[in-house]
Structure 1
Amino acid sequence: MVRICCVVGCSNKSHDSRGRKLDNGSRFFTFPTWKKSHGPQMREISSRRRSAWVAAVRRKDITFDKITPFMFVCCRHFHKGKPAYEMMENDPDWAPTLHMGHSENENGDTPRSAKSQKLALRSKRIQEGQGSSAEEPMQCKEAATWNVKQEEESYEIVKWEVKPTGQTECGGEGCGIGAKEVKQEEKLIQVVKQEAGQMECDFCIQRAAEVSRLVEENRQLRRELDAFKMPDGFFEDDDNKVEYYTGMPSVGSFMHFFCFLLPLMSAQESKLSPFQVLLLTFMRLRLDLPAQHLAHIFSISTGTVDRTFQDTVSFLYTNLRPSITWPDRNTLQRTMPQQFVEAFGRKAVAVVDCLKVLAHKSSRHKEHQMVPSDYAVKYLIAVTPSGFVGFVSKGCDGFTGAKNMLVKSGFLNKLLPGDVILAVGFDADQSGGLFCAEVDVPTFAHTDCHLAEKNLGETAHLLEHIGTLLGSIHRKYKLLKAAVPVDMTLPCDREEVTFLDKMVTVCYALENHCPTAV
C-alpha cells in the first residue's frame, strides 16, 4: 500500500509513481487512536494525544472525529525518527513538531502550486538577467556576480552607443564596431549571466541534497543509538518483552506502576531517564544481570549501574513497604479460595515460608572479619491463600530454625487463637510435607505464642496450591536465588535494615502490585 505523509509541504512517500517501493528509509505512522475502553486514565491520555496530533498537522480536512486510516505522518517530523510512547507525555516526540509547514499554507496555496510559483519567478529573473532571486543564499549571489565579472573581463566587453551619424562615442570615425556588433556583445553578456544563474541553481540543489542526506544519516544514527540504549518506548505494545524483563504480565500493568512512581521520583541530573532507571533495576532483580552487562546496554559505567540500582531499590523500599500489611479478618475470609473455606471454615489461614539467600565473601571484603565466607540469611514470608504478601521479616542467621523464626519474628501477634498456619517443608523434619499449626493462646508478646500441630488428613490436596503459590514468587526474581555480596547483609548507613532486607521487601511488595497468576 502506498503511504504518503499528510503534513503540509512534505513530499515523503513509500512508493514512486510506478508503484515501486522507495528505499529511502522513511517510516510512516498513523494517528493515535482514542482508547475509550482502556480505563479513565488511558482514555484521557489517548484523547489528548490524538488532539495534539490533529493540532500539529493543522489541516481543515483532518479533525479529531474525522481521520481516515490512510492518513500518515512520516519520521521526518519527529526528533528521534518515531513517536514517543503514549504514556511519556513530556517527550518532545509525543506529537509531531518538526517541519510542519504551517506558514506555507496560510494563504490557502497548495504546496505544489507554491513550488511552481517559485520556479517560475526564478526562471523569469534569469531571463531578465537579474541573477539569482532574493531568496537564494548570499554566498550564491556572490558566486554568480563574480562569474559574470570574470567572463566580462575575459571577453573585454565594451559597450558602445550607436549614433545617427554612424560615429561612435569613442570619438573616432570608422572604429569598426557598429550596431550589429554591439547587439552581439549584449547577447553574449546575457548568455554569460544565464549560465551563472544556472550554476548558482545547481550549486544550491547540490547543497540541499547534501544537507538532506546528512539529516537523514543523523536521524538513522539516533534511531540506532536509542535502540541500543533501550529508549522510553522500548516495550511498545509487546507484553512478552515486559514479562521477560520485569516479570509483569503486560505493558499496561508496567506503565500503570511507572505512572504511580513517576511523581515520587526526585529530579536529578542523570544520563538515564526515569523509565530507564526503573527498567535497569527490574532487569537486575528479574534476570540477575551483572553490572558490566547492564553498563554496556545502557552506555554507562559499572559504578553508575551500582549507584542507580542501590538508590532505586532504597526508593522503592520507602514507597512500597507500606503495601505489605496483614489484612483484617473480614478481608481474609472474603478473599479466601473455596478449597480453603471447605477445609477450615471461618478460621483465618496464613501461608508461610522461609526464604534463604546465600551471601559470598570475596577478596575485597576482607575487612569484614566477623562474617564467614559461607553465609546465609533467612526471611519469614507470610502470604494469604489468595496470594497477597502480608508480612516480610528482617533477615536473620541462616541457622535459625523455621519454627523459632515464626515465633520470634512477631508475625503471630497479627493472628488470633484458632487461626491456622500452613507451610510446605517448613522445617527440616518435614522434608517437603505440609506443616499445619494452630495458634492456641492470645498473642500479646512473642513469648506468649504457642503452636499446636494438626494432622491435615483429607486437606492434603492443598499442598499443590500452596507450592505453586510460593514457588511462583520465588522463581520470578533470579537475584534472590543467587549468592549476593556479603556487604548487602550489613546494616545500611544510619538504618536498622540491610540492603538485602530492602531488596527482599521490594521483590515481595512488587508481587502485591502485580500478583502472579496461580
Structure 2
Amino acid sequence: MKLKAEQHRCAEAILDMQQTAESPDLSLVTVENPELQLPAENPQPEDFSVNETFTYPGCADAGCQTELTMDDIEKMEDVLRQNTAELVDLRSKALDTQFSQEAFEKNEDKTKFYTGLPNFLVLIQIFELCEPYITSGPMSLLSKFEQFILVLLRLRLNLPLKDLAFRFNISLSTASRVWHKVIDILHKRLEFLIEWPERHVLQATMPLSFRQAFGCKVAVIVDCFEVFIERPSNLLAQAQTWSNYKHHHTVKFLIGVAPQGYVTYISSAWGGRVSDKQITIESGLLKNLLPGDIVLADRGFNIGDNLGFYCASLQTPAFTKGRKQLSAYEVAEIRKIANLRIHVERVIDLVRRKYQILQSRAMPIENMSTKPGETHALIDKIGVICCALSNLSESVVPLE
C-alpha cells in the first residue's frame, strides 16, 4: 500500500511540473510601465500594450553589434557633408551656364549682356507679357522662358540658328521653329511700346535744349537707317534694294524720335533705293502731325511742301544753293538744328548697338518676304521689336 501511495504522489508531481512548463507563472512577468499592469484574473489580449516588455527567467536581450567606432561614424558624416556641398556647388555652376530664369535672376550682368535690357525686373515683366502665348508641353525640349531667351539672344548678338541650337542642345529645325514662333509673339505684344505721344505729354516733358531753341513745338526728329541684306536673285528686287549711298543691297527704315529721346515711329522696311522723301510721304508718319508742329530732319528730307498740308513746318540745316557761303544767321541756325537733330542719330546708334541683328553684314533674303495671310515681313517685325525694347532703356537725351 505504501508503494502505491508513493507512486501516486510521483505521478501527481510529474503532472504539476508539465503544467508549470506549459503555462509560466504570470507572477514572474514584469512590466516597464506600472500603469499597464495586467489583471490578476482572466487576462484579455486587448489589455496588453505594444510598449510592454516581458522577461522570463533564464532569458536575456540580444542586440545588433557593429565594429564602427564613433571616430568612423564622424568621418563618414564629414564625407557626406563634403559631398553635399560639392553637389550644391555643381548645381549652382550648372545654373550659371544655362539660360534658365534662375540663372538670369541671380546675375544682372548676364541679363544686360544677353538681352540688352537694363535689369532682370524689366526682363521678367516683358516675359510675363508674352508667356501666355508661348507653348511648352511635357515633351518640349525648352521651357517657355528658354524659348523667350533664345529669340532675345539672336536679336542681341545676331547669332546664327545653328549656334543657338548648340547652346540650347536642340536641333536646328527646333531652333528655327522657336525663332519664327516667338518673334511673332514679341511683335504683337511689344508694338504698343512705340506710340506717338499726345501733344500735352510732349510739351510737359520737353527737354530744356529744345525749349530754348523752338519752344514746345518740336513733335519729332526723323531720319533713316539701312540694314545690309543678301543679294536678291530677282533682277527687279536687285534694283529696288541697291543703295547708292551704302554701295550694297539694303533695306531702309524711317524712324521718328521724340525730343525726349524715345522711338515714337518706325516704318516697314523699304528697298534701299527709295529716297528719304518718298518713304516719309508714303509711310504714313505725316498723319500723326498736328497744326503748329515742327519736324526736325536732315537736308535729304525735302518735305516742306508736304508738311504744309498738315499746317506743320520743317526745320533742316540750310545749304548754299549755289551761293559761295552762308550768312552768320544761317550758320547759327545750322548749329542749333544740328545740336538737336543729332539725338536721332544717337538713338539709332543705341538701337543698333543693343540689337546687333540690325548690323548684319548680309541678312538672309527670306527675312524680306511676307508669309501668306500676314501684312508684315520678318524684317519689319525685327525692326519694331528692337526699337520697342530700346525704349525700355534710359534715354540718351538729358531732360535738363
2:369 to 473, 490, 514: 490
Identity value in percent? 29
Aligned positions of 1:350-361 closer than 5 A: 350-361=220-231
Closer/same/farther in 2, CA of residues 375 and 421 from structure 1, 3 Å limit: same
TM-score, normalised by the number of residues in structure 2 = 0.66
Match of 2:4 in 1: none
- 1:271 is aligned to 2:149: no
| Secondary structure in structure 2 of the residue aligned to 1:235 | helix
Q: 2:153 aligns with which of 283, 289, 308?
A: 283
Aligned partner of residue 191 in structure 2, secondary structure: helix
- Residue 242 (str. 1) matches residue 111 (str. 2): yes
User: How big is the shift at 1:348?
Assistant: 3.5
Structure 2 matches for 1:168-183, cutoff 5 A? none
Residue range with higher mean Cα deviation, 210-219 or 293-302: 210-219
Aligned CA distance change for structure 1 residues 314 and 515 (closer, same or farther; 3 Å):
farther
Q: Give the match for residue 167 of structure 2.
A: 297
Q: What is the deviation of 1:242?
A: 2.1
Shift of 1:509: 1.4
Deviations 1:34-57 (A, max 9, x none): xxxxxxxxxxxxxxxxxxxxxxxx
Q: Which structure has the greater CA radius of gyration?
A: 2
Which of 378, 385, 399 lines up with 1:506 in the alignment? Answer: 385
Q: Which position in structure 1 is the counterpart of 2:330? A: none
Q: Distance in 2 between matches of 1:517 and 1:453?
A: 21
How many equivalent residue pairs?
A: 313
Give the equivalent residue in structure 2 for 1:229: 98
Q: Contact 1:439–1:451 (CA<8 Å) still a contact in 2? A: no
1:102-181 paired onto structure 2 within 5 Å: 130-132=62-64
Cα displacement string for residues 287-341 of structure 1 (whole angstroms, at most 9, x for unaligned residues): 1122232223222222222222221111010111233221222122222211112
The answer on whether the counterparts of 1:352 and 1:421 sit within 8 Å (CA) in structure 2 is: yes
In structure 2, what is the Cα distance between the partners aligned to 1:369 and 1:383? 35
Q: 1:69-84 alignment to 2 at 5 Å?
A: none
How far apart, in 2, do the equivalents of 1:237 and 1:345 lie? 46
Report Cα offsets for 1:466-517 as digits up to 9, x if no partner.
4323322232211001021000000023212101111111111112333444
Question: Partner amino acid for 1:249?
Answer: P
What is the correspondence of 1:45-124 to structure 2 with a 5 Å cutoff?
Answer: none
* Helix, strand or coil at the partner of 1:380: strand
Task: Verify the 8 A CA contact 1:424 1:467 in the aligned structure 2.
Answer: no
Measure, in 2, the Cα distance between the counterparts of 1:401 and 1:467.
Answer: 18
Query: Structure 1 CA distance, aligned partners of 2:169 and 2:102?
Result: 17
Output aligned runs, 1:340-351, within 5 Å: 340-351=210-221
Is this contact kept in 1: 2:253–2:269, CA < 8 A?
yes
Q: What is the distance in 2 between the residues matched to 1:232 and 1:348?
A: 42
Alignment partner of 1:340: what SS? helix
Contact 2:253 2:267 in 1 (8 A): yes
Cα distance between partner residues in 2 of 1:319 and 1:411 = 22
Residue of structure 2 in register with 1:334 after alignment: 204
State the partner residue of 1:379.
253
Match of 1:397 among 271, 275, 280: 271
Deviation at 1:353, TM superposition (A): 1.7
Paired position in structure 1 for 2:343: 465
Work out whether residues 382 and 391 of structure 1, in 8 Å CA contact, stay in contact via their aligned partners in 2: yes
State the 1:458 CA deviation. 5.2
Distance 1:465 1:224 in 2: 42
In structure 1, the residue matched to 2:15 is none
Bigger RCO (CA 8 Å, 6+ sep): 2
**Counting helix residues as a fraction of each chain, which structure ranks higher?**
2
Q: 1:237 to 1:439 in 2, by over 3 A?
A: farther
1:388 counterpart = 2:262? yes
Structure 1 residue 256: Cα displacement: 3.2
User: How does the TM-score come out when normalised to structure 1?
Assistant: 0.52
> Secondary structure, in 3 states, of the residue corresponding to 2:103?
coil
Q: Which residue of 2 aligns with 1:442?
A: 309
The 1-side partners of 2:305 and 2:194 are apart by 23
- SS of the residue corresponding to residue 513 of structure 1 reads coil
Letter of the structure 1 residue corresponding to residue 381 of structure 2: K
- Deviation string 1:369-403 (CA, Å, 9 cap, x unpaired) is 86549632111111111122221111111100011
Q: Is the CA contact (8 Å cut-off) linking 2:156 and 2:356 kept in structure 1?
A: yes
SS at match of 2:210: helix
CA distance in 1, matches of 2:142, 2:300: 43
**Residue 112 of structure 2 contacts residue 119 of structure 2 at CA under 8 Å; is this kept in 1?**
yes
Residue 349 of structure 1 aligns to a residue whose secondary structure is strand
Q: Taking structure 1 as reference, are residues 437 and 233 closer, same or farther at Cα in structure 2, changes over 3 Å only?
A: farther
Alpha carbons of 1:213 and 1:238: their partners in 2 closer, same or farther (altered >3 Å)?
closer
Bigger mean CA deviation after superposition, 498-507 or 254-263: 254-263
In structure 2, the partner of 1:478 is 356
Residues 417 and 452 of structure 1, relative CA distance in 2, 3 Å threshold: farther
> Structure 2: which 5+ residue stretches go unaligned?
1-59, 242-247, 319-332
> Is the CA contact (8 Å cut-off) linking 1:437 and 1:453 kept in structure 2?
no
8 Å Cα contact 2:135/2:144 also seen in 1: no
| Separation in structure 2 between the aligned mates of residue 347 and residue 131 of structure 1, nearest angstrom | 96
After TM superposition, give the deviation of residue 226 of structure 1 in Å: 3.2
Cα 1:450–1:223 change in 2 (3 A) is closer
Q: 2:37 is matched with which residue?
A: none
